[in-house]
Amino acid sequence: MTNQEIRQLAVWLKEAHLAGAHICRPGMQLLLKRSSDAGGVAAAPPVKAAPEQLLKTPGLGHLRLTHPDHREVLVTVGSLVERGQLVALLQVGELLLPVRSQHAGRLAAVLTECGATVGYGEAFMRLAAE
Protein backbone atom coordinates (compact mmCIF):
# COMPACT_ATOMS: atom_id res chain seq x y z
CA MET A 1 0.00 0.00 0.00
CA THR A 2 1.43 3.35 -0.99
CA ASN A 3 1.58 6.51 1.14
CA GLN A 4 -0.97 8.13 -1.18
CA GLU A 5 -3.42 5.25 -0.60
CA ILE A 6 -2.93 5.54 3.16
CA ARG A 7 -3.60 9.30 3.00
CA GLN A 8 -6.76 8.64 0.99
CA LEU A 9 -7.97 6.15 3.61
CA ALA A 10 -7.38 8.74 6.33
CA VAL A 11 -9.48 11.27 4.39
CA TRP A 12 -12.30 8.75 3.98
CA LEU A 13 -12.18 8.00 7.72
CA LYS A 14 -12.49 11.70 8.54
CA GLU A 15 -15.33 12.24 6.05
CA ALA A 16 -17.25 9.25 7.45
CA HIS A 17 -16.60 10.28 11.07
CA LEU A 18 -14.96 6.92 11.77
CA ALA A 19 -12.48 6.40 14.56
CA GLY A 20 -10.23 3.95 12.73
CA ALA A 21 -9.65 1.07 10.36
CA HIS A 22 -7.71 -2.17 10.64
CA ILE A 23 -6.65 -3.80 7.37
CA CYS A 24 -4.84 -7.13 7.23
CA ARG A 25 -3.39 -8.56 4.03
CA PRO A 26 -0.69 -11.18 3.53
CA GLY A 27 2.59 -9.49 4.36
CA MET A 28 0.89 -6.26 5.50
CA GLN A 29 -1.04 -5.01 8.50
CA LEU A 30 -2.33 -1.44 8.61
CA LEU A 31 -4.03 0.16 11.60
CA LEU A 32 -5.36 3.71 11.24
CA LYS A 33 -6.94 5.61 14.13
CA ARG A 34 -8.29 9.10 14.39
CA SER A 35 -8.45 10.95 17.69
CA SER A 36 -12.01 11.09 19.04
CA ASP A 37 -11.54 14.73 20.06
CA ALA A 38 -11.01 15.82 16.43
CA GLY A 39 -14.71 16.63 16.15
CA GLY A 40 -17.45 14.76 14.38
CA VAL A 41 -19.60 12.01 15.72
CA ALA A 42 -18.17 9.87 18.50
CA ALA A 43 -18.20 6.17 17.79
CA ALA A 44 -20.53 4.08 19.94
CA PRO A 45 -18.82 1.55 22.18
CA PRO A 46 -18.92 -1.99 20.80
CA VAL A 47 -21.74 -4.18 22.06
CA LYS A 48 -20.39 -7.16 23.95
CA ALA A 49 -21.95 -10.49 23.11
CA ALA A 50 -22.88 -12.79 25.95
CA PRO A 51 -19.76 -14.76 26.80
CA GLU A 52 -19.72 -18.46 26.10
CA GLN A 53 -17.75 -21.01 28.05
CA LEU A 54 -16.24 -24.19 26.65
CA LEU A 55 -16.19 -27.31 28.77
CA LYS A 56 -12.95 -29.23 28.22
CA THR A 57 -11.93 -32.80 28.85
CA PRO A 58 -9.72 -33.54 31.86
CA GLY A 59 -7.74 -36.30 30.14
CA LEU A 60 -7.46 -38.90 27.37
CA GLY A 61 -10.13 -41.49 26.72
CA HIS A 62 -13.58 -42.06 25.25
CA LEU A 63 -16.14 -39.40 26.10
CA ARG A 64 -19.47 -40.82 27.26
CA LEU A 65 -22.55 -38.60 27.46
CA THR A 66 -24.51 -41.42 29.11
CA HIS A 67 -23.59 -44.08 31.62
CA PRO A 68 -23.03 -47.42 29.82
CA ASP A 69 -25.70 -49.07 32.03
CA HIS A 70 -28.28 -46.31 31.43
CA ARG A 71 -29.78 -44.76 28.29
CA GLU A 72 -30.48 -41.36 29.87
CA VAL A 73 -28.22 -38.50 28.72
CA LEU A 74 -26.51 -36.76 31.65
CA VAL A 75 -27.29 -33.25 30.34
CA THR A 76 -29.32 -32.07 27.32
CA VAL A 77 -28.98 -29.02 25.08
CA GLY A 78 -30.94 -26.13 26.56
CA SER A 79 -30.74 -27.31 30.16
CA LEU A 80 -29.13 -25.33 32.96
CA VAL A 81 -25.75 -26.61 34.12
CA GLU A 82 -24.32 -25.80 37.53
CA ARG A 83 -20.61 -25.53 38.25
CA GLY A 84 -19.43 -28.96 39.44
CA GLN A 85 -22.38 -30.81 37.89
CA LEU A 86 -21.69 -34.20 36.28
CA VAL A 87 -21.99 -33.65 32.51
CA ALA A 88 -20.11 -36.61 31.02
CA LEU A 89 -17.93 -39.61 31.76
CA LEU A 90 -14.42 -40.26 30.50
CA GLN A 91 -13.82 -43.93 29.84
CA VAL A 92 -10.22 -45.07 30.17
CA GLY A 93 -10.17 -48.81 29.61
CA GLU A 94 -12.81 -50.19 32.01
CA LEU A 95 -12.58 -47.15 34.29
CA LEU A 96 -15.27 -44.43 34.13
CA LEU A 97 -14.11 -41.04 35.41
CA PRO A 98 -16.61 -38.26 36.16
CA VAL A 99 -16.36 -35.11 34.03
CA ARG A 100 -17.81 -32.13 35.87
CA SER A 101 -18.64 -28.70 34.50
CA GLN A 102 -16.01 -26.07 35.21
CA HIS A 103 -18.61 -23.30 34.63
CA ALA A 104 -22.30 -22.56 35.14
CA GLY A 105 -24.64 -21.70 32.27
CA ARG A 106 -27.11 -23.09 29.77
CA LEU A 107 -25.90 -25.92 27.53
CA ALA A 108 -25.77 -24.41 24.04
CA ALA A 109 -24.12 -27.24 22.10
CA VAL A 110 -22.49 -30.65 22.39
CA LEU A 111 -19.33 -30.54 20.28
CA THR A 112 -18.28 -34.22 20.52
CA GLU A 113 -20.20 -37.41 19.81
CA CYS A 114 -20.79 -39.94 22.54
CA GLY A 115 -17.99 -42.52 22.50
CA ALA A 116 -15.53 -40.34 20.59
CA THR A 117 -11.87 -40.52 21.51
CA VAL A 118 -10.78 -37.22 23.07
CA GLY A 119 -7.50 -35.71 24.18
CA TYR A 120 -6.59 -33.61 27.19
CA GLY A 121 -8.17 -30.14 27.15
CA GLU A 122 -10.41 -30.80 24.15
CA ALA A 123 -13.63 -28.75 24.07
CA PHE A 124 -16.66 -31.04 24.14
CA MET A 125 -19.55 -28.76 25.22
CA ARG A 126 -20.35 -25.08 24.92
CA LEU A 127 -22.28 -23.20 27.62
CA ALA A 128 -24.03 -19.88 27.11
CA ALA A 129 -23.83 -17.54 30.09
CA GLU A 130 -27.03 -17.06 32.06
What string of DSSP letters covers 63-128? EESB-TT--SBSS-TT-EE-TT-EEEEEEETTEEEEEE-SS-EEEEEE-S-TT-EE-TT-EEEEEE
Claim: this prediction has a pTM higher than 0.95: no
Please give the pLDDT value at position 7: 74
Structural domain boundaries in the chain? 3-38, 52-128
In CATH, the number for domain 52-128 is: 2.40.50.100
Residues 62 and 85: beta-carbon distance below 8 Å: no
Q: Compute mean pLDDT per 10 residues along the chain, 130 residues long, and list them.
A: 72 68 64 54 52 88 92 92 95 94 93 92 90
Please give the pLDDT value at position 8: 77
Please name the amino acid found at residue 24: C
Please give the pLDDT value at position 11: 75
